[in-house]
Amino acid sequence: MAVVKDFLSNKMVTRLNYGIVDGKEVIKSKSYANVKQTATIAEIHQVATAITALQVPALEEVHQLQQDLIFDDGL
């Protein structure tokens, strides 16, 4: 029996630094769904950088979240 996976979804998450507010560093995340399965990490980073360049908070991190269904194919 072989264990296989099926692609379900792909998201890009940016973490943005809003600076110090009331003595605490404020970091917020923004998710972007429907990222193509074939998108490379360089392309994802390039898009995240372009989007956040239009915003005031500084880009801290870029995450790619891929969701797969893992199952036994029964063969």
Q: d(Cα 12, Cα 63) in Å, to the nearest integer?
A: 6
Above pLDDT 90, what percent of the chain? 91
Contacts of 35 (CB under 8 A, 6+ apart): 10, 11, 12, 44, 64
Kindly report the pTM of this predicted structure. Answer: 0.82
Contacts of 44 (CB under 8 A, 6+ apart): 12, 35, 62, 64
Is the per-residue pLDDT at 27 higher than 80? Answer: yes
pLDDT digits (tens, 9 = 90+) for 65-75: 999 999 998 87
C-beta atoms surrounding 10 within 10 Å: 19
